[in-house]
Structure 1
């Protein structure tokens, strides 16, 4: 979304592929995600803290997927692990 408003401000768009993970990051292939009440607040503009200076903004913080790669400091996960996350 590039602006606040109703459902009409949401759209599907292409985004660049992320680079390889660094430090303690994971690269996860997202296989499922959801929109929750907080996301609706972001969309309406009621919760602006996460969007300040970050437009366009991609809502959706809950996800499930597969780890594709791990940063060098990651020890608890490995490629192929199935994960759920709140980002």
Structure 2
């Protein structure tokens, strides 16, 4: 598949929108399934152990979740790269 002017424009706009979202949102909460998958990949301690306190905690908050706080610079980098890609799409010739 050959990238055309429209593809570059779409990628640039999406990068700008995702960058704005990363700048506005402080943190993301990942659901239980993704938390367990991330835990397996990172090879850290288990999400929930089998001791008495963990069993009590699972009754209060049954789904273990992870909060991800992306750095502030990621949103700015995405916005800037989206602007560059969008401007590049205007420099390409039409077909």
Whether these two folds match at TM > 0.5 is: no
The structure, 1 or 2, with the larger RCO (C-alpha pairs under 8 Å, 6+ apart) is 2
Indicate the structure (1 or 2) with the bigger Cα radius of gyration: 2
**TM-score when normalising by structure 2:** 0.23
**TM-score when normalising by structure 1:** 0.25
